[in-house]
């Protein structure tokens, strides 16, 4: 039995192992933080589906230490068939946190702001050896507090350690965006190509502005990871990239055609011209008419 009903810290090496002949799928109603070495590619997770972590994830890893990934309540966790002797140890850690544990803490709300809880399996954090040591030290601090007698300070101390872990995870993810610039450099080109193709195919008129979900699905990247990646590379999130291209197209039409503001708005996927004018002014500090007049 766990030492606390709402949080568990599990050292995988301490578990008794058994062979698993068929894939197992589990849906958890708690938050999961998992740290595991690269050689153990037996766990999969996804939001609402069961997927296998591809081998290319490890091949394109920045480091060969460990993988850190996060899951929110309601995600599916899978264990692929394992052919491991009971005597073989599998190093790694799990922290399982029921939402009730965070009750009446600031983390109960702020945990939803950590976008890495919704990243896909192949977007997990690849840790450098020093980064792994830092994360393990925090996990052991939580374990130590978790295994002591529960008192009125236990929740506050563990929550503080969790917040520290999440802060380091954000730092390490930002590092991963930077160290993977070569791998991710093609994303910007594909994004521009996708948006330009969307506009050229007249989809703005028939389907309206492209959504972040449409963009992420087309690029095969989770929405939150794409947002963090673009923010790191360009300073703009996905929605801002969409708006930037729309404004560029609007400037082109305002300066080279005699189309009315309403006609331009409709061609750019806006149902109401006022929405177009409001966006244009927020991005350029000029109304569409003022911008057009500057060319006369």
Q: For residue range 210-253, what is the model confidence (pLDDT) as tens digits?
A: 999 999 999 999 999 999 999 888 899 999 999 999 999 999 99
Domain boundary among the residues 143, 162, 179 is at: 179
Same domain, 219 and 187: yes
Same domain, 12 and 132: yes
> Would you say residue 191 has pLDDT above 50?
yes
CA distances from 52 to 49, 58, 60, 64, 81 (A): 10, 13, 16, 19, 12
Following CA atoms 268, 254, 196, 280 in sequence, which dihedral angle do they give, to the nearest 10 degrees? Answer: -60
Same domain, 193 and 146: no
Query: Measured at the alpha carbon of residue 88, what is the angle toward residues 83 and 4, in degrees to the nearest 5?
Result: 100
Question: What percent of the chain has a predicted confidence (pLDDT) above 90?
Answer: 53
Same domain, 245 and 129: no
Give how far the C-alpha of residue 89 lies from the chain's centroid of Cα atoms, to the nearest Å: 30
Same domain, 229 and 212: yes
Beta-carbon count within 10 A of 146 CB: 20
Averaged pLDDT for residues 160-179: 93
Does residue 180 sit in helix, strand or coil? coil
The whole domain housing 43 covers 7-179
pLDDT class of 59 with cuts at 50, 70, 90: very low
Domain boundary among the residues 162, 179, 196 is at: 179
pLDDT at residue 182, rounded to an integer: 64
Q: Is there a domain that residue 243 lies in?
A: yes
Q: Is there a domain that residue 1 lies in?
A: no
Picking from 128-137, 175-184, 257-266, 275-284, which range would have the lowest pLDDT averaged per residue?
Answer: 175-184
pTM, entire model: 0.77
Domain boundary among the residues 150, 179, 208 is at: 179
Averaged pLDDT for residues 105-121: 92
Q: Is there a domain that residue 2 lies in?
A: no
Same domain, 164 and 204: no
Q: Which of 44, 174, 189 is nearest to 122 (CA)?
A: 44
Which residue is associated with the tokens 């922290």?
A: 95
Backbone angles phi, psi at 201, to 5 degrees: -85, 5
Give the strand order in the sheet containing 31-37: 7-11, 93-97, 31-37, 66-71, 125-127
């Amino acid at each position: 039995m766990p030492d606390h009903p709402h949080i568990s810290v599990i050292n995988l090496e301490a578990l008794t192992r058994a062979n698993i002949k068929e894939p197992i799928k589990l849906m958890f109603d708690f938050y999961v933080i998992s740290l595991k070495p690269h050689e153990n590619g037996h766990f999969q997770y996804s939001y609402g589906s069961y997927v296998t972590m591809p081998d290319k994830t490890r091949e394109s890893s920045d480091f060969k230490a460990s993988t850190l990934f996060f899951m929110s309540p309601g995600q599916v966790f899978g264990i692929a068939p394992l052919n491991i002797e009971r005597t073989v140890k599998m190093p790694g850690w799990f922290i399982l946190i029921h939402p009730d544990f965070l009750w009446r803490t600031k983390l109960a709300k702020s945990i939803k702001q950590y976008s890495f809880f919704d990243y896909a399996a192949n977007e997990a954090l690849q840790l450098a050896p020093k980064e792994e040591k830092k994360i393990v030290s925090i996990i052991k601090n939580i374990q130590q507090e978790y295994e002591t007698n529960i008192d009125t300070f236990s929740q506050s101390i563990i929550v503080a350690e969790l917040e520290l872990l999440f802060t380091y995870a954000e730092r390490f993810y930002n590092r991963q965006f930077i160290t993977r610039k070569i791998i991710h450099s093609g994303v910007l080109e594909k994004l521009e190509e996708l948006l330009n193709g969307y506009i050229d195919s007249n989809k703005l008129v028939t389907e309206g502005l492209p959504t972040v979900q449409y963009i992420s699905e087309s690029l095969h990247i989770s929405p939150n990871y794409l947002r963090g990646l673009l923010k790191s590379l360009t300073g703009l999130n996905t929605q801002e990239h969409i708006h930037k291209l729309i404004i560029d197209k609007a400037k082109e039409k305002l300066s080279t055609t005699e189309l009315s503001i309403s006609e331009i708005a409709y061609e750019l996927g806006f149902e109401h011209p006022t929405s177009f004018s409001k966006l244009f002014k927020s991005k350029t500090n000029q109304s569409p008419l003022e911008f057009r007049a500057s060319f006369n």
